[in-house]
A = this chain, B = another copy of it.
Amino acid sequence: MEPSLKKRIFGILEPGDEDSKYFDPFIMSLIVLNVVVVVLETVQWLYVRYVPLFHAFDVFSVAVFSVEYLLRLWSSTEDPRYYNHSSLSGRLRFMVSPMALVDLFAVLPFYLPFIIPELRFVRAVRLFRLFRVMKLARYSDSLQTFIDVLRLKKDELGLIFFTIMILLIISSSLMYEAEHEAQPDAFSSIPAAMWWGIVTLATVGYGDMFPITPLGKLIGSVVVILGIGLFALPTGMLASGFAEVVQARKEAKERKGMVCPHCGRVIEGQLVDTICTAREDAREEGRKK
């Protein structure tokens, strides 16, 4: 027996299937091209020259993404996650899922000016088209990996972030006191001095603000020596978190068949378990709120 049209469309739309071997690369290329076009449109001479092309491509993309969204909405009743619900309740649940919202926001900015004409002249609306890049999240583990890493290391990262903030405020205030009189324009207030603090602690050092008094240079030296280790700490934590998560994924892949009852992903190995538990906890907390 042939599968129903709805089932087949669902299969095509879901990533990673045999059915979607033509659809996946097509939609991914379209997303990447959209990002490239938004970036290139801001180059004056390119925009002037190819404005009809840019416009046509935008209309075509919105058309494809709109049809994709509607088909996803229609076939969402085939999704095991919304299986046990009535077709309306299941579709509503699908509509508020993160990826469905991303799909909606990817096309909405195009239709909005037709409803609220004033928006037509707001330049920043263009930026919302960059939001389409989020559609790639469906095809990549990247985002999920990052969320897992952040969740695994949230205690350490929180501590460091808090300490960095305090160091930043204290060092910027000291520098403001030391340099305000010598450079009243550059170090005009503590918030202004905090721009110096961030640019220095991150070792970017543009050179638009730096101490010129001996006291300011002394404070700057101490801050730099104390602070740089601190600013670079999160990297070390992310790196080790990343290694742990990727390792757990690899181990999990080798033991296919076992599926986590919480998140529907392959598991086994202590860490994956930890991640799943953490994810479950996070969800439960979300539910309580």
**Measuring CB to CB, which residues of chain A are less than 8 angstroms from any residue of chain B?**
35, 38-40, 42-44, 123-124, 127, 130, 133, 136, 140-142, 145-146, 155-156, 159-160, 162-164, 166, 169-170, 173-174, 176-177, 188-191, 194-195, 198-200, 202-208, 210, 212, 217, 220-221, 224-225, 228-240, 242-243, 246, 250
**Chain B residue nearest in CB terms to A211:** B195
User: Given contacts A43-B191, A173-B38, A236-B236, is CB(A145)–CB(B159) below 8 Å?
Assistant: yes
Q: Are A229 and B234 touching (Cβ within 8 A)?
A: yes
| Other contacts beyond A40-B190, A159-B246: 4, CB < 8 A | A124-B177, A203-B203, A203-B205, A230-B238
User: Given contacts A145-B159, A229-B238, A235-B228, is CB(A206)–CB(B210) below 8 Å?
Assistant: yes
- Whole-angstrom distance between the Cβ of A142 and the nearest chain B Cβ: 5
A140 to B159, CA, bound (A): 8
Contact of A233 among B127, B190, B239 (CB under 8 A): B239
A250 to B156, CA, bound (A): 11
- Whole-angstrom distance between the Cβ of A238 and the nearest chain B Cβ: 5
**Chain B residue nearest in CB terms to A232:** B235
- This chain's copy number in the assembly: 4
Contact of A207 among B140, B190, B205 (CB under 8 A): B205
Q: Are B190 and A38 touching (Cβ within 8 A)?
A: yes
List 6 interface pairs A-B (beta carbons < 8 Å), by A numbering.
A39-B169, A39-B194, A127-B173, A198-B221, A206-B206, A237-B242
A44 to B174, CA, bound (A): 18
- Inter-chain contacts of A194 with B (CB < 8 A): 39, 221
- Inter-chain contacts of A236 with B (CB < 8 A): 235-236, 238-240, 242-243
Q: Are B43 and A189 touching (Cβ within 8 A)?
A: yes
